[in-house]
Structure 1
């Protein structure tokens, strides 16, 4: 196979068999290639159109034209790099060597074992602006992604500088050089290293590497980067629906059942998910997946039902070979978790249910409330995908009534990125039909149920009823009005600590 090398550091460059390939004159086409290569995973065509082309243009035609130009650069008779179908486009990572990917893999897999000369070469490669010259080639979403990727590259450069400044093979001259650079770039970490190195240790007490201690502090150089180390994959159900899943962190697994309004890529920036996921991933391997019909999973699906939701959870657990694990269910994910735990008691070591319910609104709501639900459902179908956020704001206000105005605006926009208007309405229908009340008594796993006292979307009594129905379940009320907790309210920290104590108490 003809060898392909791609450099993302500095200006985008592509080499085939050592010969530099001419790139399209279009900055958008070059930015598209850089995005596909850097992310290395499939992207929906609609999402790519949103990232790079304005609505007055013909985004789909522009995307097709750009892909045709890029195929001439990276594809060869024995090498297909750009893979696409009716819904998605991706760049086959195993078809090319990518400079930033090779550096990040080396730092991740053998950080303490890189040679001095190898590290110096990494420092030279990283001493530049990633995808230089492509600022403004796309919309706000592309600019935000590019900023985050450049921060990651800067974090990798700082790691390399630290390793050079402390490398056992470095000469005194080299040590002085790299310590000076480290001090200028990250004085807090450099000074912490000097203080730690000078501090005497009790006998037989190992020293914690300063880099790791620094990374654990909020605002540490590697803190933001850690949120983007997740590994995304896809599995396919019997009906050919592709389900996207992600793993992040190390340690015993914790599987989160999917719930509506998630997106594996965008969740990290969410005030309702990002810090929570990061906290869990400190000590565990957190596994999440997007529900069918939303996020990175297939949107165009025939079956959007409770049984399909449970089968998708089974699919992900089987794909990853999980034998025994605790299960986290939030909102309607709680009912999905209950059903899975009853079907597979030998695999579920514990249930954590947050803001959940056992029966949907069609079973329990009064005629007046059902009429209001139907009205909201119809408004969703006609208004969800418009530029007017008023329709989506209906959900924002009930999900997070105590969130800041800025977070509500973010959530309004986030909703449109997670699913289509048609699916948003179909989800509401599916949630109304849920009923696992007769399954609660069959749960055998240790269970904790947490619920906001003044939840505006799912009343706290529905959480209490779940706890009452599950043998031995513990119920913990949270002082909040939010259905989904935001990370700056006190109840968020109470929830995390309570869950940690539950897992520890049961040895899970």
Structure 2
């Protein structure tokens, strides 16, 4: 474990494993922490994996923000500089995919490759949020008792830490199409438990909803001269069509859809995920990445 200090004095938890060219991981949320232990082990043979907890979250220093994409891009650059400091490959998951894309658009000269996992594209949130909400309730509602308990906990104005974790596990279990193993996967996500930073989550979600549909973002994507791999799980409860606009805008892109996976594809199809990431990183290092828009 290594602490990285940002220019405004906030301490960020980071961890490095593996060997090879650096691959920096951006976890999901907002307001969560790095849960990439399994993923790091999968790709450690082909990359030096750098993990970190975003400001105010997980093992990083608790603080009052600011909770903006611009601030988080600067934090990400501090981690890159500390562990780099040259060009890196970036992998972001969910909200972390949006953050990694924002960083790449801001600093394309510092990124040799981008892996965009289970993000929600560059269109307006209305294009995907209502179907996502319906799918979420449908997955949890397969067990009426679990749905009733989740709603009970969600409606409480105050919750204990134990109840917060229980609520999170019920919610996260909806991310896995293998319903028999979903509770187990959700428990592993919550262990260790650091508590969700709700203010961070709310502020960044609000910002993304207001700004991510900006036509300037699409124009910047069209100019981006960085190879990009998009990885989706076919059974993600967020409609994968939300990512189509991003795929169409990128000039150097490959998209892989793992047919048996959900929102955390490395958990349910580790072999397919490792093959996609390792092959892409090898191609990116050699400069052999080509534009391929077919789903695998």
TM-score category by the smaller chain? 0.7 to 0.9
Name the SS of the counterpart of 2:46 in structure 1: coil
Relative to structure 1, is the Cα distance of residues 365 and 296 closer, same or farther in structure 2, using a 3 angstrom cutoff? Answer: same
Deviation of residue 422 (structure 1)? Answer: 4.3
Confirm or deny: 8 A CA contact 2:19 2:46 kept in the other structure. yes
Q: CA RMSD in A?
A: 3.3
2-structure distance, mates of 1:423, 1:246: 22
Question: Cα–Cα, structure 1 residues 465 and 381, in superposed 2: closer, same or farther, change >3 Å?
Answer: farther
- Structure 1 residues 355, 383: CA separation in 2 closer, same or farther (over 3 Å shift)? farther
Task: Tell me by how many angstroms 1:443 deviates.
Answer: 1.7
| Change in 2 beyond 3 A, CA 1:367/1:485 | closer
Listed as ranges, the matches of 1:178-197 within 5 Å are none
Task: Tell me, yes or no, if the aligned pair for 2:88 and 2:112 is still in contact at 8 Å.
Answer: yes
3-state DSSP of counterpart to 2:251: coil
SS in 2 for 1:346: helix
Map 1:82-481; keep pairs closer than 5 Å: 232-260=1-29, 263=33, 267=35, 273-359=36-122, 362=125, 364-365=127-128, 379=154, 382=157, 385-388=160-163, 389-402=165-178, 403-411=181-189, 413-414=190-191, 416-426=193-203, 428-430=205-207, 432-433=209-210, 435=212, 436-456=217-237, 458-481=238-261
The Cα shift of 1:365 comes to 4.9
Q: Which has the larger radius of gyration?
A: 1
Whole-Å separation in 2 of the counterparts to 1:486 and 1:465? 24
Could you say which residue in structure 2 is the equivalent of 1:182?
none
Distance 1:454 1:464 in 2: 16
Unaligned residue ranges in structure 2 (runs of 5+): 137-150, 287-296
Partner of 2:274: 496
Using the alignment, how far apart are the partners of 2:129 and 2:18 within structure 1? 44
- TM normalised by structure 2 equals 0.75
Q: Are 1:342 and 1:442, in contact at CA under 8 Å, matched by a contact in 2? A: no
Give the alignment's TM-score, normalised by structure 1: 0.46
The answer to whether the 8 Å contact 2:42/2:270 transfers is: no
SS in 2 for 1:466: helix
Change (3 A) 1:317 1:380: farther
- Deviation (angstroms), 1:257: 2.5
Structure 2 distance, partners of 1:380, 1:360, is 30
Maintained 8 Å contact 2:173/2:182: no
3-state SS in 1 of match to 2:2: strand
CA distance in 2, matches of 1:392, 1:361: 26
